[in-house]
Amino acid sequence: MKEQNQDAIEALKTIALEGLKEQKRARRWGIFFKLAMLAYVLFLVVAMLGGVKGKSVITADKITAAVDINGVIMDGGDVSADNVIPSLQEAFEDKRTKGVILRINSPGGSPVQAGYINDEIYRLKSKYKNIPVYAVVSDICASGGYYIAVAADNIYVDKASIVGSIGVRMDAFGFQEAMKKLGIERRLITAGEHKGILDPFSPLKENEVQHLKTMLARTHKQFIDVVKKGRGKRLADNPDLFTGLFWTGEDAIKLGLADKLGSDTYIAREVIGAEDIVNFTAEKDVFEKLAERVSTSVSTAISDTLVKLSAEKPRMY
């Protein structure tokens, strides 16, 4: 009996010790995962801090200020007047600035946003008369992108850059024939004869088409006037210039749409004479970037979990 009690006590001790060991292992794993998560967050913060363009890094007494026009020009986007104009103002206001470079890689976009930016460049040039402005094109400078570029004193391109597209367009689709084949009736009720203009499920009306063409022609003329104001006598006498066609950088120079071949580093070093380039382009701060990254990670995790659950559980319809 004594031996049985002793065995039972030893067994209880063993169970208790194993339980303690398991608790220690669980705590260690808990600490490990917490530290791993902390390290991941710190990694993201450091990575984003490393990507932030600091204006205080360069200590030179003279600099070339750069502002990027990169992407589609649109209200609410990265290339909007609300983002670009404050960047331009900060670039001109810096006492070290000897010249401003507009680094353009844009297929165009909103004529309104491009117009706001163009107007502001002229205003700043008038206010800071000793600071020249150069547009430097990388891959493409078309339509609204070129609308902005012509405000610069000179436009530099690569020989393979795409330049031009001086025109205006309006896009829409028409599904009325497809609806007839499918036997679908369109019921559109409006107050105002032309309130349903460009409705994709209704046929076009000739008087509405003419109205839209008049609008586009007026906007096109505004675009042409802006180009002529910026380029002046440098423009070649070519009937295709304002037809919406675009050309390589090499041909754009011959047509007077651009001036010379050159990169931003070349302009800073050889033309402006201030080799140090400081980027004044407005960017989202570290916390905005981190919030976006975390939000994306969480969304992905939730999506993956839902996919797994939907795959593992039977569904009824």
CATH architecture of 63-282: Alpha-Beta Complex (3.90)
What value does the mean pLDDT take over residues 139-154?
97
Please say whether the beta carbons of 223 and 167 come within 8 A.
yes
**pLDDT above 80: residue 153:** yes
56-89 burial, b at 16+ Cβ within 10 Å, e below that, comes to: eeeeeeebbbbbbbeebbbeeebbbbebbbebbb
Give whole-number Cα distances, 300 to 34, 44, 269, in Å. 20, 17, 46
Count the alpha carbons within 13 Å of 120 in the hemisphere toward its beta carbon. Answer: 21
What value does the mean pLDDT take over residues 133-149?
97
Q: Is 201 exposed, middle or buried (0-12, 13-18, 19+ CB in 10 A)?
A: middle
pLDDT score recorded for residue 5: 58
Q: Return the bridge partners of 97, or none.
A: 63
**pLDDT above 90: residue 166:** yes
pLDDT score recorded for residue 17: 67
**pLDDT above 80: residue 39:** no
Does residue 306 or residue 68 have the better pLDDT?
68
Token pair 């303690």 in the structure block, residue: 20
pLDDT score recorded for residue 52: 40
pLDDT score recorded for residue 62: 94
Is the dihedral angle over the CA atoms 105, 110, 111, 117 positive or is it negative? Answer: negative
**pLDDT above 50: residue 54:** no
pLDDT score recorded for residue 32: 65
What value does the mean pLDDT take over residues 157-169?
96
Contacts of 138 (CB under 8 A, 6+ apart): 103, 104, 105, 158, 161
Does residue 285 or residue 164 have the better pLDDT?
164
Q: What is the pLDDT of residues 274-314, one digit of tens each?
A: 999 999 998 755 454 454 454 445 445 554 544 444 444 33
Q: What is the pLDDT of residues 89-124, one digit of tens each?
A: 999 999 999 999 999 999 999 999 999 999 999 999
pLDDT score recorded for residue 196: 86
